Amino acid sequence: MSPASTAAPRLLARRPRFGWPRRVFSQVLLMQLAIATGVTVLATGLFLAPLSAQLDDQAMRRALAIAETTASPEVAAALGRTAPSASGPVQAEAERIRRSTGAEYVVVMDTRGVRWSHTDPAQIGRVVSTDPSAALAGREVMEIDDGTLGRSARGKAPLRDSGGAIVGAVSVGIEYDSVHDRLLGAIPGLLAYAGGALAAGALAAYLISRRLQRQTHDLAFSDISALLAEREAMLHGIREGVVALDRSGRVRLVNDEAQRLLGIGPEAAGRPLEEVLGSGRTADVLAGRVTGEDLVAVRGHRVLIANRMPTDDGGAVATLRDRTELERLGRELDSTRGLIDALRAQDHEHANRLHTLLGLLELDLHEEAVEFVTEVVGVHRATAEQVTEKIHDPLLAALLVGKGTVAAERGVALRITPGSLLPDRLVDPRELVTVVGNLVDNALDAAAGTPEPRVELTVRAEGSTVVLRVADSGPGVPADRRELIFTEGWTTKEPPSHGKRGLGLALVRRLAERRGGSARVGSGPDGSGAEFTVVLPEALDEPAPDHPAAEPGLPVGTGSPEEAR
């Protein structure tokens, strides 16, 4: 195959196809031009359609007015005195009126329909070509009709003498071509106005299309539709919460992850943010009343990290990340570090005691060595027994034993007050462990370094409610900050390497309020330091009923005597 023969298909393949454009700018421009052209043509047609009828009506009314003016008593008197003649007074008067008004003809007739005037003198004395009965009957007539002079707009009026008797009629015609000429003469001006309106519409369409082109980045409608579909799939598919707000603070969009993290439903879209979330730090962060990066907020039992980015239209887009697991791991790491410190302190203390014991044995002070070992073991056993006597829940008791070791290492006296007593009926022991652990840790930090460092813990059951008090010998909390310290992210400590601080007290209050309780802070019993009080309703199960007394001779929990054998 020759190169020339192969070039033809290539040229055909490269030939552009003319069809509907894909870009938004071109499509909107063409649609608006088509609409403007259609509206202009329709308006022009709607104006021209009644214009012809209006011109006909005006011509007929003008012809009738001329006929009524001609039908004067003088003409009626001349009609009675003379015979029809081209030189008679009736013809002269009719021609004078015709020339002065520009009418096509002015015909005066008697009751027989005989003409007494006409533009063609040869027609005088002959009977009119149209039916004059209506005018001779006293009625006025307006019509478009064909006569001896062609098509005309006609008006007929009865001719009365001075006594009011009908002696004839006057027929006046206005040339229809003049009416048609007026119609055609109005069309150029109308088209000029229509063309100006069409040009203004085309210019407006172009400007609007250019604006749309800038706003849509010259994309096609199919591209925009695909982008919207991809945007919806992306927003609802990512594992990060997204909340979009408009300039008035209404929720514009909330994806599935944000609904899960905030505990709201899709019906939140279109509602004010405060109405959806209520008052609190989370709403303040999303609304922009609290600024910064990676802001911490607590929503329910979740710890959220929020970032907010304003948009050009005055709204904002906020992203939310769930840091609950990370914060839990961080708290576990803190607990592990505390346990390691406690073990390190015990190891140091244990080494000292072993050295002491070794020295006593080397000096052959065996009785003193036995007494020393007995005393050391008794102190640890007494400490554990003191805790378990008052705290029957094993998790909380283990926590307090460990905290006691940490407090001893830091030189702080951790004491459980005599009035404390907690039965082993906690609904959620981990919840109380979180509350006690955070409050005791904060109290140890506050009391460390004071002249007589101490922390006192009071925990008791009031029915199904647990009341917890933690007092320390620290500097206390100023009255103006007693609510601020329960805010997420507020802290006076240096942040740890693994995350944020300022969550402990916020979680304590959130856990208490979730049960319908409260968490507050005030001064210590003696007016110094700080005392935190937490009330947890419905934190204890109802006590189990007492077991029935066993029959004599039967072990507890067995059935009948036969089964016991």
**pLDDT tens digit sequence for 189-203:** 666 777 777 777 777
Q: Quick one: pLDDT at residue 109?
A: 92
Q: Does 459 have pLDDT greater than 60?
A: yes
Lateral strand order in the sheet of 530-536 = 413-416, 454-462, 465-472, 530-536, 518-523
Q: Quick one: pLDDT at residue 554?
A: 28
Closest by CA to 502, choosing from 298, 285, 334, 307, is 298
Token readout for 126 is: 């002959």
Please write the tens of the pLDDT for every residue from 47-59. Answer: 666 666 777 788 8
- Backbone φ/ψ region at 47: left (φ over 0), alpha (ψ -120 to 50), beta: alpha
Token readout for 401 is: 């034993």
Rounded distance between C-alpha atoms, residue 371 and residue 356, angstroms:
12
Token readout for 325 is: 């697991």
Write the DSSP string, 39-94.
HHHHHHHHHHHHHHHHHHHHHHHHHHHHHHHH--HHHHHHHHHS---TTSHHHHHH
Q: Quick one: pLDDT at residue 342?
A: 60
Assign 541 a pLDDT band (cuts: 50, 70, 90): confident
Q: Quick one: pLDDT at residue 502?
A: 53
Q: How many residues does the chain have?
A: 565
Strands 150-160 and 465-472: unpaired
* Mean pLDDT (whole number) for 302-313: 84
The dihedral over CA atoms of 97, 98, 100, 103, expressed in degrees to the nearest 10, equals 130
Structural domains of the chain ordered from first start: 19-219 (3.30.450.20), 238-322 (3.30.450.20), 327-536 (3.30.565.10)
Of 60-69, 427-436, 495-504, give the lowest mean pLDDT range: 495-504
Q: Quick one: pLDDT at residue 150?
A: 58
- Distances 148 to 100, 173, 212, 383 between C-alpha atoms, Å: 22, 11, 65, 138
269-273 contacts: CB < 8 A, separation 24 or more? 272/248, 273/245, 273/249
Token readout for 238 is: 């990512």
- Distances 19 to 16, 27, 29, 33, 35 between C-alpha atoms, Å: 9, 11, 15, 17, 19
Distance of CA 63 to the CA centre of its chain: 68
Instruction: Name the residue with higher pLDDT: 150 or 44.
Output: 44
**Nearest 5°: phi and psi at 197?**
-65, -40
- Which residue(s) pair with 422 in the sheet? 391
Rounded distance between C-alpha atoms, residue 539 and residue 518, angstroms:
13
